[in-house]
Amino acid sequence: MLAHVLVEPGRIELRELLRPSPGPGEVVLRIRAALTCGTDVKAFLRGHPKFPMPTPFGHEFAGEVAEVGAQVKGVRAGDAVMATPTGPCGSCYHCRRRQENLCDTVMETITLGAYAEYIKLPERVVKNNLYAKPPELSFAAAALLEPLSCVMHGLETLPLEPDDTVILIGAGAISLLHLLALRALGTQRIAVLGRSPERAAHARRLGAEKVFIGGVEAAAASVRDYTDGRGADVVIECTGQVPVWEAAPSLARRGGTVVLFGGCAPGTDVRLDTQRLHYDELRVYSPFHSTPRAVRRAYELLCSGKLPGDALITGAYPLPELPAALEAHRLGLGIKFVIHP
């Protein structure tokens, strides 16, 4: 089979590899759609602490079952399915406390290699996070299951009220996925803060009530006006940049919540205003990855028709043109791009 391998930062190779065969409890998928994402772009540019190189590349996918291993039940060859690339062990300290996103081995056993013709899913993924794809859901939209699961994990502990105001910092794919999820969950007052007029236009089309163009400091006064001088009830940082992490609390109201969703580069530190955190009783939360509960919620939301996932797909590339797709993503020429093997 053909598969892309991330050899080192800045270098991808399309190689001929052996097609995987499933062991007991495992499933092999024929990839029908794989999506570009900010994590893959960052891994390509600078490496990733959880992706040792050389490594198969890509982790957002949907496809058809090509082969099933012994002891697999409820799944057969030809089934259209969607999955996340990880599953918890179910027995470690964190799993026993329903913090499966922090499972001791969840990232060490991640299934990479979605930018390929086939991919093998381990037993823990098959048992926890493999779902049937309904016919009305496109393969590209189904491939949003992984990032949407992370979004749902971040949102599930927020004390959202119907009249809350939410500020999303950043106008890239993960911010716009937050926007669609929040709207589907009933939140109406959502503003997006971004630097790119093109991406800001996407945010407007996808239902943002307000869009601010510029940096956090430049938008602070506008955000106060939008929130009657209080600041936002919830601020969600989606850029993964240290200065933006540090500035995000400035947009929150007293007693508000700040979600630091975007992952910063390894080895970086942030400085936060301790007076604001303490005397304004800010809640600062940095969610990581997802749990099977969040995957289930993401799956149900995608299948409900309330979240128009296809609206985030702004272009398609064949498998050999993955580098061009990643460059288009990096340049902000679209939101997400689908790779068709």
Residue at token pair 């949102």: 155
When divided into structural domains, the chain yields a total of 2
Provide the percentage of residues in the chain whose pLDDT is more than 70: 100
- Let me know whether 266 and 163 are in one domain: yes
- Let me know whether 42 and 137 are in one domain: yes
Confidence of residue 122 (pLDDT cuts 50, 70, 90): very high
Confidence of residue 332 (pLDDT cuts 50, 70, 90): confident
- Let me know whether 298 and 329 are in one domain: yes
Query: Residue 54: is the preceding peptide bond cis (ω within 30°)?
Result: yes
- Let me know whether 6 and 142 are in one domain: yes
Confidence of residue 168 (pLDDT cuts 50, 70, 90): very high
One DSSP character per residue, 66-90 reads EEE-TT--S--TT-EEEE-S----S
Task: Report how far residue 121's alpha carbon sits from residue 144's, in angstroms, rounded to the nearest whole number.
Answer: 17
pLDDT given at position 338: 98
Q: Is the pLDDT of residue 48 over 80?
A: no
Average pLDDT of the chain to the nearest whole number: 94
136: CATH:
3.90.180.10
- Let me know whether 277 and 322 are in one domain: no
Asked whether 89 and 2 are in contact (CB, 8 A), the reply is: no
- Let me know whether 58 and 94 are in one domain: yes
* Structural domain boundaries, residue 61: 2-150+290-340
pLDDT given at position 16: 96
- Let me know whether 22 and 123 are in one domain: yes
Query: Domain boundary residue among 285, 309, 327?
Result: 285
222: CATH:
3.40.50.720
- Let me know whether 88 and 176 are in one domain: no
Q: Is the pLDDT of residue 50 over 80?
A: no
pLDDT given at position 43: 86
- Taking each continuous run of H as one helix and of E as one strand, the counts in the chain are 12, 16
Q: What is the pLDDT of residues 241-267, one digit of tens each?
A: 999 999 999 999 999 999 999 988 888
Q: Is the pLDDT of residue 49 over 80?
A: no
- Let me know whether 146 and 294 are in one domain: yes
Residue type at 41 in one-letter notation: V
pLDDT given at position 162: 87
Confidence of residue 47 (pLDDT cuts 50, 70, 90): confident
- Please compute the mean of the pLDDT values over residues 102-115 and round it to a whole number: 95
Asked whether 301 and 148 are in contact (CB, 8 A), the reply is: yes
- Let me know whether 162 and 70 are in one domain: no
Single out the residue of 256, 95, 270 nearest to residue 165, CA to CA.
256
- Let me know whether 134 and 50 are in one domain: yes
Confidence of residue 19 (pLDDT cuts 50, 70, 90): very high
Confidence of residue 42 (pLDDT cuts 50, 70, 90): confident
CA distances from 45 to 4, 48, 265, 301 (A): 15, 9, 11, 32
Query: Domain boundary residue among 243, 266, 285?
Result: 285
- Let me know whether 194 and 260 are in one domain: yes
pLDDT given at position 53: 84
Q: Is the pTM of this model over 0.85?
A: yes
